[in-house]
Amino acid sequence: MSRFIQQTLLIVVGILFATVGPTSVLHGAPGEEKSDEAAKAAALKVDEQFNDAVKSKDRATLERVLADDLSWVARGDRLNKSQVIADVMSENLHFKALTHDSIQVKIFDNNTAVVTGHSTSILEYKGKPFTAPRLFTSVYMNLNGQWQMVAHQVTDLDEKK
């Protein structure tokens, strides 16, 4: 695993533990399964809204679902919210096909969702095509009653695997 990926994973884990604390991650309270399922459904709904907004270039939805202090790491760039939205709106980030599978959602303290999956999306970023499969992690938090993406990280996979 590259040093960059290791550092990124450490940052994501650090954010989770700083936000929810290790005891709430490791020990669930009775009855939490039902609220965890509702949180999973809400996070997946916002993730779907985000993906639809990227495809349709829906600025209002992107503004709503991306947190103001978003950390976005993909294709060699680290971007903030305004940069991600600018890339989508300007065609710097253009999805020709947006396909995700093997989606998993982990809920922490009923207000943080880590969504991971595999992407076989075909896209162009700054004019360069990306067709290799990727793994992704998106972190959503319920901020003031609204689920928003606070972090997103993509790891390109070797096409031969």
At 84-113, the pLDDT tens digits run: 999 999 977 778 888 888 999 999 999 999
Q: Is residue 26 part of a domain?
A: no
The CATH number of residue 40's host domain is: 3.10.450.50
In tens, the pLDDT along 3-12 reads 555 455 445 5
Q: Where are the alpha helices (DSSP H) in the chain?
A: 3-20, 22-26, 32-56, 59-65, 81-90
pTM of the model: 0.76
- Predicted confidence band of residue 159 (pLDDT cuts 50, 70, 90): low
Domain range for 56: 3-20+35-156
- Count structural domains, the chain: 1
In a domain, 88, yes or no: yes
Asked whether residue 49 is assigned to any structural domain, the reply reads: yes
Least confident of 16-20, 42-46, 86-90, 142-146: 16-20
User: How many C-beta neighbours within 10 Å does residue 62 have?
Assistant: 20
Tokens 């969504």 correspond to 115
Mean confidence (pLDDT) of the chain: 83
